[in-house]
């Protein structure tokens, strides 16, 4: 038997320390910083109290007493752990009640609760499409949609941000050559780093004209847009034309977890195919119970009042902007990091967002507005922002 001779001088692999040094040199090193929340839109970091303009808690529900009370009630009634996956013994009454309530609110036949938005995307997309199918993805879509599309094995095509002309050409070309292939369009209702909206009406016209399906990620629209807070599709009156409504409970809902709402048949297929659902322990039943309370609040008159307060705060800081996410693009990593440090020194927590979260050369401040911000805090932040280019 011939024994292979090892190369006496094998290539040197990059060590973790070297990788970290390179990230630091490129202005891309991240680190965890302990942050303590207060019972208002302020936090404590490194012993300093800061106005929090970094959170996705758009309605202030993360500290709302009614949601806290519902969580406690859920703990008392259902416990704090599901104990197994939904297909074993983890499918408890609070999970079903939330899914039924969400399906009714969304106008769909059914809904399915997941542990996170990322788990939803990487479970749902590969369950909907496969190697003989196509995924058309907006270039600025969230990483979870990108990863879900890649995991599916479907042919992936990326269209320029909100470019309906390019999307139409892609759809026509695919349908001409692949008459029976499933085509899934992926986009966000509110884009998480730019705060702009997708052209939903045009997307629906194209998907219907070419026999495609649309998955709309309402992560940053849920709770914020629409007469009862169900998102952009509700705001435009087109909920029944969207095939798959995806969203999270970690933004305006103030909790954690995520959902996919659609027809009962698709829901049943996901129960059998979505690996992140099948092979994960169910979300805590107390959390699902609190999620139902949050859903009720969002859809209530009180929820509408919070949305009006949020809209007023957005108008105060950025008149005419369509969402609570307000970017201030500064270009370089150094400029964004320096601006974030300057704002923190002035008493404001505003994160610097860099590649790969946003394209290279578009590093920015990402300002998140809440219904609970005071006019004084918003005006003070606006004064600080006026000093940046």
pLDDT tens across the length of the chain (389 residues) = 566 666 666 678 899 999 999 999 999 999 999 989 877 799 999 999 999 999 999 999 999 999 999 999 999 999 999 999 999 999 999 999 999 999 999 999 999 999 999 999 999 999 999 999 999 999 999 999 999 999 999 999 999 999 999 999 999 999 999 999 999 999 999 999 999 999 999 999 999 999 999 999 999 999 999 999 999 999 999 999 999 999 999 999 999 999 999 999 999 999 999 999 999 999 999 999 999 999 999 999 999 999 999 999 999 999 999 999 999 999 999 999 999 999 999 999 999 999 999 999 999 999 999 999 999 999 999 999 998 87
Structural domains present in the chain: 33-58+324-385 (3.90.1150.10), 65-299 (3.40.640.10)
Asked if 249 and 259 touch (Cβ cutoff 8 Å), the reply is yes
Measure the CA–CA gap between 115 and 260, rounded to whole angstroms: 11
Predicted local confidence at residue 234, as pLDDT = 98
Residues acting as catalytic residues: 56, 142, 188, 192, 217, 220, 251
Task: Give the residues across from 283 on adjacent strands.
Answer: none
Predicted local confidence at residue 9, as pLDDT = 62
Measure the CA–CA gap between 139 and 195, rounded to whole angstroms: 15
Sign of CA dihedral 127, 130, 134, 137: positive
Strand segments (E) across the chain: 35-37, 42-45, 48-52, 110-114, 134-138, 155-159, 183-188, 213-217, 244-248, 258-262, 325-331, 348-349, 352-353, 363-368
Sign of CA dihedral 269, 271, 273, 276: positive
Task: Give Cα 338 distance to the centre of its chain.
Answer: 26
Asked if 196 and 189 touch (Cβ cutoff 8 Å), the reply is no
Asked if 336 and 363 touch (Cβ cutoff 8 Å), the reply is yes
DSSP string, 196-261: -B--HHHHHHHHHHTT-EEEEE-TTTTTTSSTTS--HHHHTT-GGG-SEEEEESSSTTSS--EEEE
Predicted local confidence at residue 8, as pLDDT = 62
pTM: 0.94
- Helix (H) or strand (E) holding 386, with range, is none
Q: How are the residues of the chain apportioned to helix, strand and coil, as percentages rounded to the nearest 5?
A: 45, 20, 40
What CA–CA distances, in Å, run from 26 to 22, 29, 359? 6, 8, 14
Does residue 352 have a cis peptide bond before it, meaning omega lies within 30 degrees of 0? Answer: no
Burial class of residue 219 in the structure, from the number of CB atoms within 10 Å of its CB (0-12 exposed, 13-18 middle, 19+ buried):
buried
Predicted local confidence at residue 37, as pLDDT = 82
């Amino acid at each position: 038997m011939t024994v292979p001779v090892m190369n006496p001088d094998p290539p040197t692999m990059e060590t973790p320390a070297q990788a970290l040094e390179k990230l630091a040199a490129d202005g891309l090193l991240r680190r965890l910083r302990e942050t303590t929340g207060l019972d208002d839109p302020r936090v404590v970091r490194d012993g300093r109290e800061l106005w929090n303009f970094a959170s996705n808690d758009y309605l202030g529900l993360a500290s709302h007493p009614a949601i806290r009370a519902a969580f406690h009630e859920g703990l008392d009634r259902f416990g704090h752990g599901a104990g197994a996956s939904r297909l074993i013994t983890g499918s408890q009454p609070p999970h079903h009640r939330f899914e039924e309530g969400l399906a009714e609110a969304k106008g769909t036949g059914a809904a399915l609760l997941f542990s996170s938005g990322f788990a939803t995307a990487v479970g749902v997309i590969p369950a909907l499409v496969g190697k003989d199918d196509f995924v058309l993805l907006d270039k600025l879509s969230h990483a979870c949609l990108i990863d879900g599309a890649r995991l599916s094995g479907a042919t992936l095509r990326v269209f320029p941000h909100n470019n309906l002309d390019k999307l139409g050409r892609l759809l026509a070309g695919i349908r001409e050559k692949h008459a029976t292939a499933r085509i899934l369009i992926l986009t966000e209702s509110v884009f998480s780093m730019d705060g702009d909206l997708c052209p939903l009406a045009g997307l629906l016209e194209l998907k219907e004209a070419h026999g495609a399906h649309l998955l709309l990620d309402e992560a940053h629209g849920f709770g914020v847009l629409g007469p009862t807070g169900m998102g952009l599709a509700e705001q435009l009156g087109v909920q029944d034309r969207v095939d798959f409504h995806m969203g999270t409970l970690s933004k305006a809902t103030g909790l954690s977890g995520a959902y996919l709402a659609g027809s009962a048949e698709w829901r049943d297929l996901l129960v059998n195919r979505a690996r992140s659902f099948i092979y994960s322990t169910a979300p805590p039943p107390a959390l699902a119970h609190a999620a139902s309370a949050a859903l009720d609040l969002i859809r209530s008159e009180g929820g509408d009042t919070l949305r009006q307060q949020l809209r007023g705060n957005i108008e105060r800081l950025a008149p005419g902007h369509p969402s609570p996410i307000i970017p201030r693009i500064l270009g370089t990593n150094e400029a964004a990091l320096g601006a974030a440090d300057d704002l923190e020194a002035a008493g404001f927590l505003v994160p610097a967002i860099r590649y790969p979260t946003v394209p290279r050369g578009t590093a920015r401040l990402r300002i998140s507005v809440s219904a609970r911000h005071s006019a004084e805090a918003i005006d003070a932040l606006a004064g600080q922002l006026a000093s940046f280019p």
